[in-house]
Chains A and B, each alone.
Chain A
Amino acid sequence: MSAPLLVFDDVTYSYPGVEEPALSDVAVEIQPGEFCLLAGLSGHGKSSFLRAACGLVPHFHGGRFAGRVTLAGLDTREHGPSRLGAYAGVLFQDPETQLVMSTVRAELALALESRGHGSTAVARGVEEVALALGIDALLDRSTHQLSGGEKQRVALGAALAGRPRLVLLDEPTSQLDPVAGDELIGLLRRLNQEWETTIVLAEHRLERCLAAADRVIALEHGRVGCDSDPQAFLAWAEKRAPALQTPAAKLFTHAGLHPAPAGVRQARKALRAHGLLTEEHGLPEIAGPAAPRRTRRRDRPKAALELRGAWHELRDGPAILRGVNLRVAPGESVALMGRNGAGKSTLLRHAAGLLQPTRGDVERAGRVALLLQNPGDYLIHEWVFEEAPPEALAAAGLAAMSQRNPRDLSGGERQRLALAIVSGSGEPPAVLALDEPTRGMDRAAKALLAEELRTRSAGGQAVIVATHDPEFAAACADRAVLMADGRVIADGTSAELLSGGWYFATETARILSGAGGALLPEEGAELLRRQAQQTRDGGAAAPEAEIAPGAAR
């Protein structure tokens, strides 16, 4: 066995001015060529782990550091991030702060030039990394003209330009749509398999990358809770950290099937082996929940929000919205989906009156509260009590925190505070619109937010959420609207829309081929149990699956 590439030797680290350690007694060895997934809830040490691996901790951040980290044999206490950068490329969450030059070519060349490579090596390095990542067509583009996905690829290219042996990635897909996210994970897989680049990837949506990983390190309160292969990790998560379970694993847990699968392909293979999935069509036709019948126009209640033929045309530029018709009834919850640049955010801005359509019109039954992508943009005061009225803080469960600085709140708390700010304390808004509210959120925080939105729509508020996360859309919305190129291209119940695709579908729906419109693991498990029951009642050969007694919920 070759020498480990990255070694954490009983590392304990605390940020300056913070008593509680971000990392506690972390002891890990990562071998060359491994694809390692870093799992854990927000604030449990994933980013600190990555920053310690590349030397930013302690050199850049300061703080108290005990133990030792060695990268390619270099002790990070003796060598700074600049020196270590020759061995480790780093990709952070926000692509905007990782592009420092004006053109893509200059961006890719910078790391090589900084390290004193000659002109031939720079030119060759830029060309090769651009070809490897499929960004050669972007080389002469300005960096501020790129889409989010393109920016993230270029930032990855800049990290890889020096051909580092290790790549550290901190939630690189959190700002990408499902297509761009899958492309990025595919790229990492290729880097790992074809060039044996060691990958350490911190990610909340484990279902995206678990199948590609050799190993999962789960951090709990800065300690290593689990360090094993994906299968063993899922078994550990089922018992110790259900919030880290993937939807596929949850589906199997709820259906009483074991072992939990690492991805869609493995899950389908297991279900086939258990006789619960036929070869050609997936699950046999089982009636799912009936789609709500469309009401006649004159029977429809007054809309909470209605866009009629709304266009948003830029002067000297393209049309961002193209004749959008959308009607949202009071108490309805709608998920707005589509790729980056499809027009979702613009539509929400029109709904809230921040923009006026260049053609068409928007009608609102009352106030539209809009929560934009970054809750931090709302927080301008020094105290929480200055940000929102006491009643709104109490309603958001933040009354006890009113004497704290908003910037000291956790991500979830900041979002609740921003929600309290836009909701206000008087008459509740007729419509609550949220733009990408789950960016960088862990599964537990997403579940809480979905519950909050369900409560609001049950109380009569129309809720409209732009999201890239099909699991969150399924959890919080009854209806889904798919946008592309400024148009609504599909509009139906969540069960219809999120069950029949590759990208805009939940993992449960992809495993079950959309059978019965089951989107969430609980619904899928119910479907599987009924299927197993039918098989037994029909006198067919008993499935090999062990459906655990009492597993039904």
Chain B
Amino acid sequence: MSSSAAGKGIAGMDAASTRDSSVLLDVRRLRTEFATRAEPVRVLDGLDFTLTNHHITGLVGESGSGKSVTAFSLLRLLRPPGNVVSGEVWFRGRDLMSLSEKQMTAIRGREIGMIFQQPRASLNPVFRVGDVLNHVLRLHRGMKGDAVRREAFRVFQEVGLPDPARILRSYPHELSGGMCQRVMIAQVLAGQPKLLIADEPTTALDVTIQMQIVHLLRSIRDRLGLTQLLITHDLGLVGEMCDDVLVMYAGEIVERAPVVDLFDQPSHPYTRGLLASRANRKDRDRLYSIPGTVPSLVAPPTGCRFHPRCPYARQICSDVAPAPEHVSANHWVRCHFWKDVVRDPTSAGRDTVAARG
């Protein structure tokens, strides 16, 4: 990161970001709007966060929280009516928002790869999967002839595809969902990116296949040190594979923490509610449930956007939007009363591990 160290906002708050080398992506005051008939809808309202090098960071949120829009905004893949209004996205010394479209195209795929929820739908049905992979290798890696074939074979082995020679010749419809997702990951790895954005990569897959993909992404991080941004609604998946977590609610990041800290000491009432509302076999008490529903971004609540559903809310919460406050070095939260939240022993704040001993 060569950007000025005087960056304000959250970026400056993460201990990691002060040491430039450990931060791969630094998002500052990112603001995305969707044009509608009336006022534009502000889907992302000044997003600030950093991704630590070699970490898998989870971006957790419900539908409508803006997590997918975040990914599309970062890569500048948002299409009208969506539009990034302002903000900076610093990636390896460059602000992605200020690059030309041509420079940005060079970064997508080559430096930042992306995989999606519907792996088969994201593969072009008329090409053999090997052809696409070869294309990536020629385009991004400048490889030729036999080297392309050998490398394609090697990448397919790396993502655990059995019989690479056969699968390279297959069309997407001949492969199962799990294999298509492996092919997608292989295509991304072939470009040797520095960052992988995975948007709900396992949601469409069956449980046992899901876990295979989780293990694969985990092992890619361990072996290649590939930094990943995992977008998901599933806290189980976050607990399974992430190092850091960003919790998103109604277009804002409300809490950021290393994964163990988040599960041990959730400090935002929303995070706490999400964790407490998970069903569990060993504890058959009535489930805690967050009252109300996810607000529409067309007219988000004033002040703290969670206040209408929050058991801790007081007057100030509907008046003033809380600024981020540190819980510990790498753990911050946007809540006026996070100290009360942490101290509260009731079920909404039930510590899942401690409760079971």
Indicate whether A and B interact.
no
Q: Which residues of A does B touch, CB under 8 Å?
A: none
